[in-house]
Structures are given as structure tokens and as C-alpha cells.
């Protein structure tokens, strides 16, 4: 018998750690399970899928899993609108592969930029079939945008405004899908959303985890509001992927933890965005191309509604 490799050992061990049997059995019982898993690639999970005629948006397209997501959706025939913080970065990314891609500028800390980007997308006058909220940051130190903590602004609030301004275009699609990229790190935010101090000054949990909890709650409330339409919203954890997001992090990935490559890291969001098996699936959390029960805090419908209301208040002057 061949000895198990270190990579295979880490895959098996990580899988056992994040996917307990009861979670598979009890959560999202009506959602189809796929044969894909931790080492599946974005190309593999979309094999045979024809996205010709569909329009997709991917935020943070110029590097990491955002780049791979854009590349694979374009490979399958979609017209992909890729956002980057500068038009040069977006153009450079779009020029590296075949397929129809349109770069646009989106600076999530600048709500005027968010509005301008959404209006540029709206000017294309097409339904939005896929909207992947992928862009994100991870910092080691406390940073703010105005009076708000920066992770909360970039990872959640900027995307909240972007989705809000494009939501009617997603609903207008035959089967619009919104995919919000969260993280298993949301489980560390055991104190919930710090509604009384969104500056981050008094936070006792990592700001990144706090913002990822906000991503999940945003998706949950959005899914509730989309009930009765053909559109859906789901949240995904891409896995631990060695990307540029770690460049400012105090803690680097544990070398003994299995790290996905970019093709594997983009798989779950491509699967949830495009696979026919998930038609009509709404309001769930996916890990390794299958539903997995999130923390109790990320299933708190009351907190999700409150976050929505607070987010609307914070960006009120920028809403359509």
C-alpha cells in the first residue's frame, strides 16, 4: 500500500475538522450534495456548464480567488465585469486570458466610487445573472474609514451598498445569483456584531472575523428579502488559500494547515454561482461545494435584520 502523502493527510484531517457528520445530516437537508470537495477546482465544478449570454460581476478581480473566479466564469462563456481598485489593474487582469471581460473601478472605502461603479454597470442595460462579492482585506492593526472600522467598511458595508444599487438587475435575471464570500473565521466572532461601537475601538474579537460574520448575516437577510423572486443569495467560505490577503496579516497561515491553491479556492464560489444543481437554493452557507452549518450567530435572523437596518442608515445618502 502506498504511504499517504503529507498533502493527502492534511486534506483528510482538515475535512474531518470542518465537516462533522451531524452538520451534513441536519443542515440544509433539502439542498443537493455534490461530489466535489476540498481539492476540487473551479474548472472541474463548472465543467460542461454553458454561461453564454449571461452577465457576471466579480469584485476584486485582479488577483487571488477573484481573478480565478473571473477567468473560469469567462471560460464558460459569461460576460464578466471585473472590479478592481484601478482601471489599470482591471485591464491587466482581463488581458491575461480569453473570454469577454470588462474591467471597472470599485473602491469599497469610497461610497461615491461604489455608486459610480454601480451606475457604470447599470449603463450596460443587462440583467445580472451572477454577482460575486469577493473582494476583501485582512489587516494586523486597527484601521478606520471615517468613524467606522475598515474591515467592516470594505468587507461588508461597501458590498452592501454595491448589491443594494444593483439588486433590481439581479432580480430581473431569469435566475440571478448573489454569492457573498465569507469565511469560517466568522465563528470567532462569538460576541456578535458590535452595533454600539462600529469604530472597532472596543472590539474584543478580531475585526476580520467580525466583518465575515457581517457577510453571513447580510446574505441571510438578503435571502429572506429575495423570497418570492427567482433570485438567490448564499454565503461561501473559499477555504484557507495562500493569497495576497495575508500580506498585511499579523499571523501567517499555519504551515501544517492544508492551504488550497487558487483553482481550489475559487471552486466553491464558482459552484454556487453557476451550477444547475443549486437552482433556487437560497440562504445557505457553503464550504467545499457543499452546505455546512455556520455558527449560531450567523443564523440569527434578528441580528441579520438589525444589521441590514443599520447598514442602510450608514449609507443612506448613497442609496438609489
Which tens digits make up the pLDDT trace of 95-132? 999 999 999 999 999 999 999 999 999 999 999 999 99
Residue position matching grid coordinates 442608515: 313
- Report the pLDDT value the prediction gives residue 258, as an integer from 0 to 100: 72
Task: Examine the residue annotation and report whether 285 is marked as an active-site residue of this protein.
Answer: no
Residue 13, pLDDT score? 37
Distance CA 222, CA 231 (A): 10
pLDDT in tens, 246-264: 444 444 455 445 799 999 9
DSSP state of 276: G
Instruction: Write down the domain spans for the chain.
Output: 48-315
Candidate from 3-7, 40-44, 195-199 with smallest mean pLDDT: 3-7
**What confidence tier does 25 reach under pLDDT thresholds 50, 70, 90?**
low
- Report DSSP letters for 61-92, one per residue: TTSHHHHHHHHHHHHTT-EEEEEESSHHHHHH
* Marked catalytic residue, from 67, 194, 208, 284: 208
pLDDT at residue 57 in the model: 98
Q: Could you tell me which of 158, 142, 129, 127 has the C-alpha nearest to residue 60?
A: 158
* Nearest to 250, CA basis, from 165, 141, 95: 141
User: What confidence tens digit (pLDDT) does each residue in 203-220 have?
Assistant: 988 999 999 999 999 999
List pLDDT tens digits, range 65-88.
999 999 999 999 999 999 999 999
Question: Which of the listed CATH numbers 3.40.50.720, 3.30.930.10, 3.40.50.300, 3.40.50.410 matches domain 48-315?
Answer: 3.40.50.720
Q: Burial, 26: exposed, middle or buried (Cβ in 10 Å; 0-12, 13-18, 19+)?
A: exposed
Q: How far apart are the first and last CA of the chain?
A: 63
C-alpha cell at 290: 457543499
- pTM of the complete model: 0.90
Average model confidence (pLDDT) across the chain: 90
**What is residue 104's three-state secondary structure?**
strand
As a whole number, mean pLDDT of residues 297-314 equals 98
Is residue 32 within 8 Å of residue 277, measured between CB atoms?
A: yes
What pLDDT score was predicted for residue 200? Answer: 96
> What would the pLDDT profile of 6-22 be if each residue is shown by its tens digit?
333 333 334 433 444 33
pLDDT at 3: 36
Amino acid at each position: 500500500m502506498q504511504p499517504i502523502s503529507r498533502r493527502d493527510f492534511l486534506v483528510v484531517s482538515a475535512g474531518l475538522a470542518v465537516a462533522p457528520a451531524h452538520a451534513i445530516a441536519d443542515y440544509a437537508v433539502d439542498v443537493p450534495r455534490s461530489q466535489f470537495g476540498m481539492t476540487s477546482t473551479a474548472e472541474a465544478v463548472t465543467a460542461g456548464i454553458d454561461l453564454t449570454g449571461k452577465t457576471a460581476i466579480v469584485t476584486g478581480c485582479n488577483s487571488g480567488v477573484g481573478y480565478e473566479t473571473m477567468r473560469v466564469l469567462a471560460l464558460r462563456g459569461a460576460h464578466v465585469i471585473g472590479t478592481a481598485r484601478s482601471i489599470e489593474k482591471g485591464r491587466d487582469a482581463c488581458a491575461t486570458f480569453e473570454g469577454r471581460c470588462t474591467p471597472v473601478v470599485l473602491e469599497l472605502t469610497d461610497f461615491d466610487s461604489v455608486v459610480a461603479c454601480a451606475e457604470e454597470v447599470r449603463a450596460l442595460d443587462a440583467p445580472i445573472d451572477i454577482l460575486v462579492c469577493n473582494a476583501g482585506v485582512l489587516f494586523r492593526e486597527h484601521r478606520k474609514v471615517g468613524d467606522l472600522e475598515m474591515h467592516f467598511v470594505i468587507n461588508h458595508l461597501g458590498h452592501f451598498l454595491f448589491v443594494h444599487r444593483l439588486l433590481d438587475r439581479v432580480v430581473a435575471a431569469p435566475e440571478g445569483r448573489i454569492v457573498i464570500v465569507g469565511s469560517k473565521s466568522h465563528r470567532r466572532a462569538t460576541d456578535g456584531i458590535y452595533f454600539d461601537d462600529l469604530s472597532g475601538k472596543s472590539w474584543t474579537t478580531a475585526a476580520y472575523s467580525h466583518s465575515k460574520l457581517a457577510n453571513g448575516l447580510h446574505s441571510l437577510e438578503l435571502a429572506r428579502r429575495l423570497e418570492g423572486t427567482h433570485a438567490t443569495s448564499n454565503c461561501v467560505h473559499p477555504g484557507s488559500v495562500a493569497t495576497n490577503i495575508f500580506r498585511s496579516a499579523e499571523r501567517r497561515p499555519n504551515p501544517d494547515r492544508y492551504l488550497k491553491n487558487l483553482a481550489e479556492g475559487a471552486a466553491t464560489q464558482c459552484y454556487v454561482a453557476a451550477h444547475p444543481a443549486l437552482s433556487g437554493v437560497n440562504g445557505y452557507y457553503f464550504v467545499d461545494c457543499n452546505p455546512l452549518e455556520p455558527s449560531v450567530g450567523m443564523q440569527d435572523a434578528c441580528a441579520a435584520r438589525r444589521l441590514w437596518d443599520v447598514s442602510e442608515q450608514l449609507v443612506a445618502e448613497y442609496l438609489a
